[in-house]
Structure 1
Amino acid sequence: MDSSSLRERQKERRRARIYGVAIELFKQGGFQTTTATDIARASNVSRGTFFNYYPYKEAVLLDYGSEVMERLRDHAELRLAQGAPPLGVLYEIWDRLAEENARERDLFPPLAYEVMNPNPERARTAYQALPLSRVIELILRPLHQSGQMRTDLSLQRISNLIADTYLMVALRWSAYGTERPLQEEMRLALNLLLEGAVRREPARP
């Protein structure tokens, strides 16, 4: 192994260690109260080294969000390949995401806020790291191609609207709570959205 490859592997291991330590600290002490200095100290690196890997604390959460999205995409691809109906797969993904958000309730608000960050570069980075709309688009594409979805809106726009709705409903639930579990709130929102997106057979007289 040459020296450049060795350095890259060392960097990857260091980043993985910082990430793992940071997520654990966020879960134990809360995202807001955990500082970059806390993470660096617990990871046995300098504060400057932390910022070499993560330019701001929220960037750690983007790695977490990316992992979640990757798992959802893998599940969707597998289920579609098995012949599962697209809408069934969408509800499976919806439920899995709601379960993850409910379990890590303190991590979701700062992660969601990054997508709406007033700094356009940070907002763009967050959007790219959390491609929920692309996972939804993957799932709904067979319905769109077969003419089972409305055609006056593009598949991309429908998928973006569904993803944006998830973001806002889950953010409100995480920050303020409701009487319903998040999974119920999300299914209610998805039902309403699909009523307007999927063509229904006319009722028989």
Structure 2
Amino acid sequence: MDSTSLRERQKERRRARIYTVAIELFKRGGFQNTTATDIARAANVSRGTFFNYYPYKEAVLLDYGSEIVEGLREYAEQRLSENAPPLIILQEVWERLADESARERDLIPPLAYELLNPDPERARTAYQALPLSKVIEVILRPLHSAGQLRGDLSLERMTNLIADTYLMTALRWSAYTADRPLREEMMLTLQFTLSGIFRSS
């Protein structure tokens, strides 16, 4: 057996164990209350080993968010292959995203903060790990190709704006006492945002 590939598999298993343990601790004790030392101890690795895999604690959340976004992309592509209407797919994706965000309310603020991090490198890393706008772009591309969306904004810019509405809506909802469920709040802001991207008849 090739020693290099064996080492790589061992590294992948170690990273997966650290990730799984970290998410369990975040959900059980809260993100802010969980330290890198807590995670390392529970994963049976040294603190230094933890930082070899995750340079900062929030980086674990990027893997978590990346899994969610990848799942949404796979769902959207499957629904498009079934010829479901793009706007219906977007609503379904938004509902799934709302339900996951509401279920893990404690993880939203630190994850959102990474996208807004004043450190440009960390913000760029978060943006690349959480390409929600790319999922929206996949969904809306048929409408854009058919000329149904406004022509003075690029598809990329429109999808970035829609993704930003999720970020700010979820962040505000998680940080303050909400008057309505997150799903309802997100659908309201989605409808409001969508009204601005279609061509005027």
Query: TM-score interval w.r.t. the shorter chain?
Result: over 0.9
In the alignment, which residue of structure 1 is the partner of 2:88? 88
Residue 101 (str. 1) matches residue 101 (str. 2): yes
CA distance in structure 2 between the partners assigned to 1:119 and 1:73 by the alignment: 28
For residue 198 of structure 1, report the CA deviation from its aligned partner. Answer: 1.9
In the alignment, which residue of structure 1 is the partner of 2:11? 11
In the alignment, which residue of structure 2 is the partner of 1:67? 67
In the alignment, which residue of structure 2 is the partner of 1:52? 52
In the alignment, which residue of structure 2 is the partner of 1:159? 159
For residue 35 of structure 1, report the CA deviation from its aligned partner. Answer: 0.2
- Asked if the contact 2:19–2:60 (Cα under 8 Å) also holds between the matched residues in 1, the reply is yes
Structure 2 gaps of 5+ residues are none
* 1:9-41 deviation digits (Å, cap 9, x = unpaired): 000000000000000000010000100000000
Structure 1 gaps of 5+ residues are none
For residue 196 of structure 1, report the CA deviation from its aligned partner. Answer: 1.0
CA distance in structure 2 between the partners assigned to 1:82 and 1:21 by the alignment: 37
* 1:65-90 deviation digits (Å, cap 9, x = unpaired): 00000000000000000000000000
User: Normalised by the size of structure 1, how large is the TM-score?
Assistant: 0.97
Superposition pairs for residues 142-181 of structure 1, below 5 Å? 142-181=142-181
For residue 177 of structure 1, report the CA deviation from its aligned partner. Answer: 2.8
In the alignment, which residue of structure 2 is the partner of 1:196? 196
Q: Which amino acid aligns with 1:5?
A: S
CA distance in structure 1 between the partners assigned to 2:195 and 2:5 by the alignment: 52
RMSD: 0.8
- Asked if the contact 2:151–2:199 (Cα under 8 Å) also holds between the matched residues in 1, the reply is no
* 1:48-81 deviation digits (Å, cap 9, x = unpaired): 0000000000000000000000000000000000
Partner secondary structure for residue 179 of structure 1: coil
CA distance in structure 1 between the partners assigned to 2:29 and 2:184 by the alignment: 28
Partner secondary structure for residue 135 of structure 2: helix
Superposition pairs for residues 22-41 of structure 1, below 5 Å? 22-41=22-41
For residue 184 of structure 1, report the CA deviation from its aligned partner. Answer: 0.4
Partner secondary structure for residue 105 of structure 2: coil
User: Normalised by the size of structure 2, how large is the TM-score?
Assistant: 0.99
Q: Which amino acid aligns with 1:134?
A: K
Number of aligned residue pairs: 201
In the alignment, which residue of structure 2 is the partner of 1:115? 115
Q: Which amino acid aligns with 1:26?
A: F
Partner secondary structure for residue 197 of structure 1: coil
For residue 199 of structure 1, report the CA deviation from its aligned partner. Answer: 3.2
